[in-house]
A and B are shown apart, each in its own frame.
Chain A
Amino acid sequence: MPISHSKSSFVASREACEGDVLQVRDLHFSYPDGHSALHGVSLKLCEGDKVALVGPNGAGKSTLMLHLNGILGGHGEVEIGGQRLTRDNLPAVRAMVGLVFQNPDDQLFSPTVFEDVAFGPLHMGLPEVEVRARVDAALEAVRMSSYKDRLSHHLSVGEKKRIAIATVLSMNPSILVLDEPSAGLDPRARRTLINLLRELPITMLVSTHDMKLVQELFPRTIVMDEGRVVADGLTMEILENEEFLTAHGLEKP
């Protein structure tokens, strides 16, 4: 699948993109303990975009991701596939946003791989035949077909990460949202994962500290710091600006 590149001005949202897959407008959020995590975040993603989300710890990346399928609900608008996220369409929207959490031990909560990959489709109310077909397709997509009957706690970290991706692919999402996919992986498992992410023909928003991964895989990068989007543009240009990176706790790869 071709990846859409559009011209982008530095520290500006891309005007060429209509945001047909995902739009976030002026999102604010504070945790119950008063800690304020998001201050007016806006961004747009288009069909086929593969976008990196970087920023120091506590920048609000994970909080933002939890808003994308309504686990957290702040002030502002989130639109998925042109539908505004409300309490009523939450189940439908959740199926469109495949959220993969950082720790695969949190994501894989069932005893077997099959049960975990089937969880999403089952809870969407699909019939058994369809559920089984979806599980097979999702495992095939992450090259883990032979792991269907394995026990989750027998998998290596790299295997768990790939199965975790399969658990949301089985819901046929229109956008994949990954939190720190390469964290804790050895070089070989990381390479396998990068290849997988490159091959998957799906819109992606990936939060990461792995700047080499950003450079290699994502044409576009969004930088967050202190609850705000401080940069949104071509990865190449952002990574060139060393002063800017340092100011936001990042490093040139």
Chain B
Amino acid sequence: MHFDAFDRYHEKESFIHHLDPRVKVVVTIVFIVSNALLPDGAWLAFGLAWLFLLAANALSGLGIAYTLKRSLIALPFALIAVTVLFSIPGKPVANFSIAMWDFVITDAGLLRFVSILIRSWLSVQIALLLVAATRFPDLIHALEHLRVPAILTTIIAFLYRYLFVLTDEVFRLLRARESRSASVTGKRSGGGVFWRANVAGNMAGQLFLRSYERSDRIYNAMLSRGYTGHLYTLNAHEMKPSDYFVTAFVVAIIFIVQVIGRL
């Protein structure tokens, strides 16, 4: 049973949990777009956006620092933005040299780098909150309502259902490989890279065939329950007046953040 490691949803009875999933998806997107639109160095606006996040965290019942604690997952990618530290012209604030290269960090470069990181850091947090406070099947329903093509939401629903089943199979395969990967003291074990790649590739091939055959059996199970090529779903969600109100309220706040960011 491995499902816990994958599930990001936390059961709670909170204001955020009870919002219509559509509202949560839309608010999340609006918030991230707003971050992308804020100019570099709009510190006050970034701060307000963060306060908004803290409030959302608090309202979710997950704890005010819930997303903060998990917000560093996008950090490794920051490496890709490091070059702006040196590439944007401005007043030098620091310099150092590695091997044959001299690096000069400029104030404008620093400003841009920090702004990129803050945007990313804020955006990833609201996405974290979205999945922590919304059951994934409800998220799929929200996508259906928001006119995402049915074929995609259907594939996503299957993907969600079977990713647990298939990753379990992967871990069984990996464990089987592990348990047979013995080594003799003093000798290099495991063969060459190509051999190891071949083992991994065979595992992938095996997993593919098992998955292929599984999809046959699932198809049979669907057929025997009346599937004829068209999929029907019952969608339980209905927008309440409070949902509209929350959406309008959040959009207003974000508008204010944008105005402040441009003052």
Which of B140, B221, B232, B234: most chain A Cβ within 10 A? B221
Contact residues in A for B214 (Cβ distance below 8 Å): 105-106
Q: Which residue in chain A gives the minimum CB-CB distance to B226?
A: A123
A198 to nearest B CB, angstroms? Answer: 24
A110 to nearest B CB, angstroms? Answer: 6
Given B158, B164, B226, B233, which contacts A109 in the complex, CB threshold below 8 Å?
B158
The reply to whether A91 and B226 contact each other, CB–CB distance below 8 Å, is yes
Contact residues in A for B221 (Cβ distance below 8 Å): 99, 101, 106-107, 109
Given A119, A151, A152, which contacts B225 in the complex, CB threshold below 8 Å?
A119
Interface residues of A in 173-187 (CB under 8 A from B): none
Contact with B along A119-149 (1 / 0, CB 8 A): 1101110001001100000000000000000
Contact with A along B215-243 (1 / 0, CB 8 A): 00110111111111000111000000000
Contact of A221 with B by CB under 8 A: no
Contact residues in A for B234 (Cβ distance below 8 Å): 115, 118, 122, 128, 131-132
A134 to nearest B CB, angstroms? Answer: 12
Contact of B157 with A by CB under 8 A: yes
Contact residues in A for B161 (Cβ distance below 8 Å): 108-111, 152-153
B138 to nearest A CB, angstroms? Answer: 9
Contact residues in B for A120 (Cβ distance below 8 Å): 225-226
The reply to whether B223 and A109 contact each other, CB–CB distance below 8 Å, is no
The reply to whether A71 and B224 contact each other, CB–CB distance below 8 Å, is yes
**A158-B161 Cα distance, complex, nearest whole Å:** 18
Known: A106-B214, A122-B232. Is A115-B224 also a contact (CB below 8 A)? no
Known: A66-B220, A128-B234, A153-B164. Is A168-B225 also a contact (CB below 8 A)? yes
Contact of B160 with A by CB under 8 A: yes
Known: A115-B233, A152-B161, A171-B226. Is A103-B217 also a contact (CB below 8 A)? yes
Contact of B135 with A by CB under 8 A: yes
Contact of A69 with B by CB under 8 A: yes
Q: Which residue in chain A gives the minimum CB-CB distance to B166?
A: A105
Contact of A112 with B by CB under 8 A: yes
Contact of A45 with B by CB under 8 A: no
Interface residues of B in 140-192 (CB under 8 A from A): 140, 157-158, 160-162, 164-165
Q: Which residue in chain B gives the minimum CB-CB distance to A156?
A: B1
The reply to whether B226 and A110 contact each other, CB–CB distance below 8 Å, is no
**A69-B225 Cα distance, complex, nearest whole Å:** 10
B239 to nearest A CB, angstroms? Answer: 18
Interface size in chain A (residues, C-beta < 8 A): 35
Contact of A95 with B by CB under 8 A: yes
**A154-B164 Cα distance, complex, nearest whole Å:** 10
Contact residues in B for A69 (Cβ distance below 8 Å): 223-224
B88 to nearest A CB, angstroms? Answer: 46
The reply to whether B157 and A110 contact each other, CB–CB distance below 8 Å, is yes
Contact residues in B for A132 (Cβ distance below 8 Å): 234
Main SS of chain A's interface residues?
helix
Contact of B136 with A by CB under 8 A: yes
**A154-B165 Cα distance, complex, nearest whole Å:** 11
The reply to whether B137 and A106 contact each other, CB–CB distance below 8 Å, is no
Contact residues in B for A153 (Cβ distance below 8 Å): 3, 161, 164-165
Contact of A94 with B by CB under 8 A: yes
The reply to whether A151 and B135 contact each other, CB–CB distance below 8 Å, is yes
B200 to nearest A CB, angstroms? Answer: 24
Contact of A167 with B by CB under 8 A: yes
Contact of A97 with B by CB under 8 A: yes
Interface residues of B (CB under 8 A from A): 3, 135-137, 140, 157-158, 160-162, 164-165, 214, 217-218, 220-228, 232-234
Interface residues of A (CB under 8 A from B): 66, 69, 71, 91, 94-95, 97, 99, 101, 103, 105-112, 115, 118-120, 122-124, 128, 131-132, 151-154, 167-168, 171
CB-defined A-B contacts under 8 Å, sample of 8: A91-B228, A94-B223, A101-B221, A118-B234, A120-B225, A124-B226, A151-B135, A168-B225
Q: A101-B217, A111-B157, A168-B224 are in contact. List 18 more A-B contacts (CB 8 A).
A: A66-B220, A69-B223, A94-B226, A101-B220, A101-B221, A106-B217, A106-B218, A106-B221, A109-B218, A109-B221, A111-B137, A111-B140, A119-B222, A119-B225, A122-B233, A123-B228, A131-B234, A151-B135
10 closest cross-chain pairs (CB), A and B: A123-B226, A111-B137, A120-B225, A153-B164, A106-B217, A99-B224, A122-B232, A107-B221, A69-B224, A112-B137
